[in-house]
Structure 1
Amino acid sequence: MRRREPFFKKSHNAWYVELDRKQIRLAETEAEAFEKFHELMAARKKAEKFVTPGEPAPVTLGDLLDQFLASGFKGRAAQTKSWYTDKLTPFVTHYGREFSVPDLKPFHVDQWIAAHPDWSSGTARNLWRAVQRLCRWGHRKGLIPELAVLHQEKPKAGRREVVISPEQYAELSGFIRNDEFRAIVTLSWETGARPQELMAAKVRHLDAGNKRLVFPPQESKDKDRPRVIYLTDAAFDLIRPKSGAISEDYLLKNSEGRPWTPDASLCAFAALHKRMKKAGVDAHKYCLYHFRHSWLDRMLKKGTDVLTCAILMGHRDPSMIARTYQHLSQSPDYLRAALNKAVG
């Protein structure tokens, strides 16, 4: 029988413990590892203390996450599962896979958010979304009771106010160092597509004859209609697959030859911001969604009607633009020119 005590794993440069035939990462230093180990064992004893004989033990965070990731995303895009994995795995690791889910309280989520002061309100809101969906799924499946975290109000989403002007776009483009990053930035600027759509685009999605990307309903955001992304000539030239490419090849890859991920794009933008700051350019910390918003701002200012913008952006309802993006075109010069044009 394997002794239940921490051991050092050279291949991962960290301390682990094996519980219930699963290896659990504790920490990189021995002192922290044994402290975390004792916390885990105390939590197990506490859970065992309140178990009624003949009834199953409370579900642990690790087991709930494993079941959620294994069966909670059937029929959903791989990127959706990856998004929840990236949000929930560090959270579960922090509190321990053996943490009893019925003991999870709203303050646990708040403490994890407070440990990351650099997070935006949107990032904090996304963590709450992920934790609440995990617990809601577990409750629907009868695995856990209804928890207080399900009724906690999430942080408000940040407003999408960053707009990149053509002049700013030209300036930042000069600081992009590799063609792979330039390609996905250009596609975002030229098409207004959602970042996750560009990252998921494969050879089989390209309708070269009509210069567009077509995602079938089961791969689109709405799930009941295709998502069509029209490409400008500049965008089409960048996205053409190489000779010998197969249908499942991704059209856009990073400099390592791998499909783009949200984290990879954020790292690329962080490096871009660092180079611009070093050069004395007062630039915002951009992300791909800023280019989608900026695309809409340009279209509206050029006189493109809202219905056409909504169709090109993939919105089902044009009122979405009015509710979410109306502040993007609050340029005094633009509004004054529109007024003068209207009154003749």
Structure 2
Amino acid sequence: MDAATLQTQSEHFLGELTRSTHTVRAYRADLLHLTAWLQEQQQDLDGEHLGQYFAAHSHWAPATRSRKQTTFERFCRWALQRDLLNRDPTLHLERQRLPPPHPRGLRRADIERIFAVIPQEQARDALLFRLVFETGLRIGEALNIHVEDLDLTKGDEHLTVLGKGDRRRTVLLDDPKLVNTLRRHLRALGYTHGLLFQATKNGRGGPLRYQSVQSRWQRYTARAGVACTLHQLRHSHATELVNGGVSLATIRKRLGHQHIQSTLRYAEVSDATADAEVRQWRRRK
């Protein structure tokens, strides 16, 4: 495909996209940049010249290269389906390996703003989300907790969690407010076996579905004006532990990570925490 055809067909491709305006704008910029380079080099769009294009821009960050490569791959698949290309020139491009994003936790004050808008009559929701935040459980783990998994012996309150890979772990319940709420919830349930969190539909209890929980959480965050995903409650708990000086080995056990590399993603502590730790070390000298 020559550069002039690429330019024309790019607009047809973009016109058929059902993606957001931002994505279409990014795709257009990527395709226009490639078209201009091919015209300047007097080259066609093929595997060899696409490789030369990326080699000529080796200074690009991995994320930039990855985004452009995705644009070209999707355009080329579209062109192949319409017999505009004989072969896919992106097949031999080396895919960039991007590091996983650093987990982003929220400040406790922001999360408490979300909790504050949960109506009192939605006590189950408030308890579920508080439990995830104060223990770092995955939402799926929390939804699968059974009443018999709880041990609220005074002074040794904990729960047993079935995590990824069917691995069980014990999670300390060290927040007094959470423990008291759990005790009230258990008294209200009136049973000693079965799921801790149940749906109440048509007067019948049943498993609480993730989709329902997700929908409710989104409504609460919108009402509070705070952008926060359910999984960020887990990240926020881990960040609090790191900033509080809890060891990565302990955090790994509490979160149920199989590999320490997963826990190391939380190791970026705040400047204030780092400064306090250095001052404490200096005073001990």
Do the two structures share a fold, i.e. TM-score over 0.5?
yes
CA contact 2:242–2:267 (8 Å) conserved in 1: no
What is the Cα deviation at residue 198 of structure 1?
Answer: 0.4
Q: Take 1:264 and 1:155, find their aligned partners in 2: how far apart are those partners? A: 34
Which of 119, 133, 149 is equivalent to 1:205?
Answer: 149
Structure 1 residues 276 and 158, CA, compared in 2 at 3 Å: closer, same or farther?
A: farther
Q: How much does 1:298 deviate?
A: 1.1
Summarize deviations over 1:78-131 as a string: whole Å, max 9, x none.
xxxxxxxxxxxxxxxxxxxxxxxxxxxxxxxxxxxx75659xxxxxxxxxxxxx
Residues 107-186 of structure 1: matches in 2 within 5 Å? Answer: 115=18, 117=20, 159-177=101-119, 178-186=122-130
Partner amino acid for 1:213?
L
The alignment's TM-score, normalised by the length of structure 1, stands at 0.47
* Pairing of 1:95-106 with structure 2 (within 5 A): none
Give the letter for the 2:168 counterpart. P
Correspondence for 2:246 = 304
Question: Aligned partners of 2:224, 2:267: CA distance in 1, in Å?
Answer: 29
Letter in 2 for 1:312: R
The one-letter amino acid of 2:273's match is: Y
What is the rounded CA distance, in whole Å, between the counterparts of 2:159 and 2:278 in structure 1? 37
Change (3 A) 1:265 1:321: same
CA shift at 1:227, angstroms?
A: 2.0
Percent identity at matched positions? 17
Name the amino acid aligned to 2:208: W
2-structure distance, mates of 1:202, 1:154: 43
Shift of 1:186: 0.7
Going from structure 1 to structure 2, the CA distance change for 1:307 and 1:335 (only over 3 Å counts) comes to same
| Residue 314 to residue 173, structure 1, CA distance change in 2 (3 Å) | same
Distance 1:263 1:115, change over 3 A: farther
Indicate how the Cα distance of structure 1 residues 160 and 304 shifts in structure 2: closer, same or farther if over 3 A, else same.
same
Mapped partners of 2:99, 2:191: distance in 1: 40
**Unaligned ranges ≥5, structure 1:** 1-113, 119-151, 278-282
Q: Which has the larger radius of gyration?
A: 2
Cα distance in 1 for partners of 2:104, 2:141 equals 20
Aligned to 2:6: none
For these two proteins, the number of residue pairs brought into alignment is 191
Moved runs in structure 1, 4+ residues, more than 4 A? 114-118, 152-158, 254-258
| In structure 1, C-alpha distance between the alignment counterparts of 2:96 and 2:198, rounded to whole Å | 34
Runs of at least 5 residues in structure 2 that lack an aligned partner in the other structure: 1-16, 22-93
Residues 181, 213 of structure 1: alpha-carbon distance in 2 compared, 3 angstrom cutoff: same
Q: Structure 2 residue aligned with 1:343, among 264, 282, 285?
A: 282
Which structure has more RCO (C-alpha within 8 Å, separation ≥ 6)? 2
Task: Write out per-residue CA displacement over residues 303-337 of structure 1, whole angstroms, 9 at most, x where no aligned residue.
Answer: 21221111111223434311x2234x2x2222222
Structure 2 distance, partners of 1:116, 1:263, is 23
- Once the two structures are TM-superposed, the CA of residue 171 in structure 1 deviates from its matched residue by 1.9
C-alpha displacement at 1:290, in angstroms? 0.8
| Map of 2:197 onto structure 1 | 252
Q: Structure 2 residue aligned with 1:221, among 146, 164, 170?
A: 164
2:237 aligned counterpart, secondary structure:
helix
What code does the residue aligned with 1:332 have?
D
Q: Deviations over 1:60-93 (max 9, x none)?
A: xxxxxxxxxxxxxxxxxxxxxxxxxxxxxxxxxx
